[in-house]
Amino acid sequence: MEQLLEPDILDSRARLIQAAAELFVEEGYRASVERVAARAGVARQTLYNHFPCKADLFGEVVKQGTAALLITLGGNQQSLRERLLRFGALYREKLLSAEGLGFFRILAAETVRFPQLAASFYRSGPAQTAAHLSVVLKEAMARGEMRSASPDFAANMLLSMLVGADRSRYLFSGDPPPDADPDHVTRIIDCYLRAFAPPAAEMPSDSSFTPASTRSIP
């Protein structure tokens, strides 16, 4: 049997992950490994060489999506605002796209039948995203870029502001998923940063200034 070269192996793996992501959205977790392999254009055994079971394949789909999000928070040489704008734009794009909404809808429907799958998704996706964002915000607080607060609370607040109400709307209203709107993301991030702005510097002492409430009335 001809041995696959490294680029071929990586290409097969990437195509399997892409095919699985598409089929999980279309058919839910019941999508068969045979159909995944067929869509990826590889043999079923090739799929098993990369992913011993369907749960491993599902987990990799989630991990790759999460990794793409976390990369946007990198770049310590950039301002916190720039990093959050980049993260916020991709976060909304992924979660509010037709694929993101479909994935969420399917997973919610499968939770009762596959509770361990749902728990794995949460740990590898939302929980990891929130934890990484929390670290970034904690570092920003230590540098004085944000006021001191619970980093976990601050992270969950931002994630909720970015997609919370909008996701409910596009899941249930029948409206088509929104187009990318950088201005909307900017408004969210700027509102968020104002809410967590560091305390204003104290006014320097000035003996010539006396608050009106303490002045003597003639």
pLDDT in tens, 27-36: 888 889 999 9
Q: Where along the chain do the CATH 1.10.10.60 domains lie? A: 1-52
Rg value, the chain, Cα: 24
User: Across the chain, what does the average pLDDT equal?
Assistant: 85
Class of domain 1-52: mainly alpha
Distance CA 143, CA 137 (A): 10
Give the confidence band of 211 by pLDDT, cuts at 50, 70, 90.
Answer: very low
- Which tens digit of pLDDT belongs to each residue from 102-124? 888 888 888 888 888 888 888 88
* Cβ pair 110, 117 in contact under 8 A: yes
Q: Of 80, 74, 67, give the one whose Cα is nearest residue 17.
A: 67
Q: Where along the chain do the CATH 1.10.357.10 domains lie? A: 55-195
The 8-class DSSP code of residue 72 comes to: T
* Dihedral, CA of residue 157, residue 140, residue 97 and residue 121, to nearest 10: -70
Please state the separation of Cα 44 from the chain's center in Å: 31
Average pLDDT of the segment spanning 169-176: 92
Distance CA 193, CA 87 (A): 14
- Which tens digit of pLDDT belongs to each residue from 54-94? 888 988 988 888 888 899 998 778 999 999 999 999 999 99
User: Which architecture characterizes domain 55-195 according to CATH?
Assistant: Orthogonal Bundle (1.10)
Task: Kindly tell me if the per-residue pLDDT of 99 is higher than 60.
Answer: yes
